[in-house]
Structure 1
Amino acid sequence: MPHTLTAAVRHEADVRKSRFLALAAPIESPEAAQAFLETSRDLQATHNCWAWRYGSHYRFSDDGEPGGTAGRPILQAIESQGYDRVAVLVIRWFGGIKLGTGGLARAYGGTAAECLRLADRVELREECQVLCDCPYADMDRVQARLLAAGARIEHAEFDGRGVLWRLLVARADVAALEALYTDQTRGQGEWCVLEADGGPAA
């Protein structure tokens, strides 16, 4: 079972006078990964190299370092430790001594790997999407109960009658949450579990 980080973490290393700073964080979407990288990069540094993985989606960047010496080693550090939904940025300040391609790969990959080794991790639960609706009069109460029970609101649409939520729910908790939702809406709401293709479960 893959893991993710419980919180952002950092680790710094010096390699032959170059300073490397790894910043790692859990992400809720590919867009969140890009936002983390944009807000965390140091424009005064020599290079801002990074990688992230979110399920089957991943990206990485060497940011001007020789191809294959930075982004891919960072991604390999994420994957080799069984992480998912994680972004890692490794910032380098050049110290005047060239490291060579092998040295760069070891420095970037090693700094990222040590950062992730030092981090607190949590097992990722298998989730599914649920569509459900709620009238405005019950919205605050039902939302509070669902969130307290572990559901996460991925999207909300509002119309004249109320709100339509798309929730992320642990697959193991679907039945219990449906019972809670039915009780809170007095059986008036619609609860539909979606499969990976976005269609309703059979």
Structure 2
Amino acid sequence: MALTLAHPVHSELLIKKSRFLGCVQPVAGRAEALAVVEGLRAQHPAAAHVCWALLAGGQSAANDDGEPGGTAGRPMLEVLRHQQLEGVLATVVRYFGGVKLGAGGLVRAYTDAVAQALLRAQKVELQRMVTLRCRVPYALEGPVRRELQAAGAVLAEARHDAQVDVAFTVAENAAPALRSRLNDLGQGMLAWLP
């Protein structure tokens, strides 16, 4: 069972005069993660490093941002993996305090910044979503929309032509029951589209 985070959580560590600002947050994918990292760089222009690790969409990535190779991004990524997280970005902004920490000290500092944030993070089960499409007569559009809303589905598109083509996303585990209810509601007038 993959977990994600309900909302961003921050941490702050002071180690030998260096300040480490950690954050773990849910993200949809790499593009969103890179936008967050760029935002942090703009927000902290005086920071020495903005290191990050990402687990999202079955992909992983890590960046040391100038720290010695393997001392920041990769250890942060391992903390996320150990927690069985998915769709999560970990970032640590470092303000250098003038005292070198050595490779071991850097690994501990970056992993601690992420681990401290994760201690306070609310973890939730990751809901896999599916997109479904159906075609209904105009008379059924309202009842179908109400059924979608009751099921927590998100309407993506409603195209009006001779009939109404409805596209929506719903949690994968709720899809079979919703499909069955919509079939009952449609009484043979609802057609599923590829």
Which TM-score bucket, shorter chain as reference?
Answer: 0.7 to 0.9
Which of 63, 66, 75 lines up with 1:64 in the alignment? 66
Does residue 108 of structure 1 match 2:110?
A: yes
Contiguous gaps of at least 5 residues in structure 2: none
Between 36-45 and 63-72, the greater mean CA deviation after superposition: 36-45
Partner Cα separation in structure 2 for residue 46 and residue 146 of structure 1: 49
Partner Cα separation in structure 1 for residue 76 and residue 146 of structure 2: 39
Aligned residue for 2:179?
A: 178
1:166 deviates by 5.2
Aligned residue for 1:133?
A: 134
Partner Cα separation in structure 1 for residue 15 and residue 65 of structure 2: 19
CA contact (8 A) 1:3 1:121 kept: yes
In 2 relative to 1, CA 115–64 (structure 1 residues): closer, same or farther, beyond 3 Å?
same
Q: Secondary structure at the match of 1:35?
A: helix
CA contact (8 A) 1:151 1:170 kept: no
Aligned residue for 1:36?
A: 36
* TM-score of the superposed pair, with normalisation by structure 2: 0.81
In 2 relative to 1, CA 136–6 (structure 1 residues): closer, same or farther, beyond 3 Å?
farther
1:52 deviates by 1.0
Pair member with larger Rg: 2
Aligned residue for 2:27?
A: 27
CA contact (8 A) 2:153 2:168 kept: no
Q: How many residues align?
A: 190
Partner Cα separation in structure 2 for residue 184 and residue 40 of structure 1: 49
Cα shift readout 1:111-141 (whole Å, capped 9, x = no counterpart): 111111211111224x352321356956676
* TM-score of the superposed pair, with normalisation by structure 1: 0.78
Q: Secondary structure at the match of 2:50?
A: strand
Aligned residue for 1:84?
A: 86
Q: Secondary structure at the match of 2:100?
A: coil
- Residue 46 of structure 1 aligns with an amino acid whose one-letter code is A
Aligned structure 1 segments of 4 or more residues deviating by more than 6 angstroms: none
Between 141-150 and 93-102, the greater mean CA deviation after superposition: 141-150
CA contact (8 A) 1:130 1:191 kept: no
1:13 deviates by 0.7
- Residue 152 of structure 2 aligns with an amino acid whose one-letter code is G
Instruction: Quote the sequence identity (%).
Output: 36
Contiguous gaps of at least 5 residues in structure 1: 193-199
Q: Secondary structure at the match of 2:133?
A: strand
1:100 deviates by 1.1
Aligned residue for 1:197?
A: none
Aligned residue for 1:14?
A: 14
Partner Cα separation in structure 1 for residue 103 and residue 97 of structure 2: 16
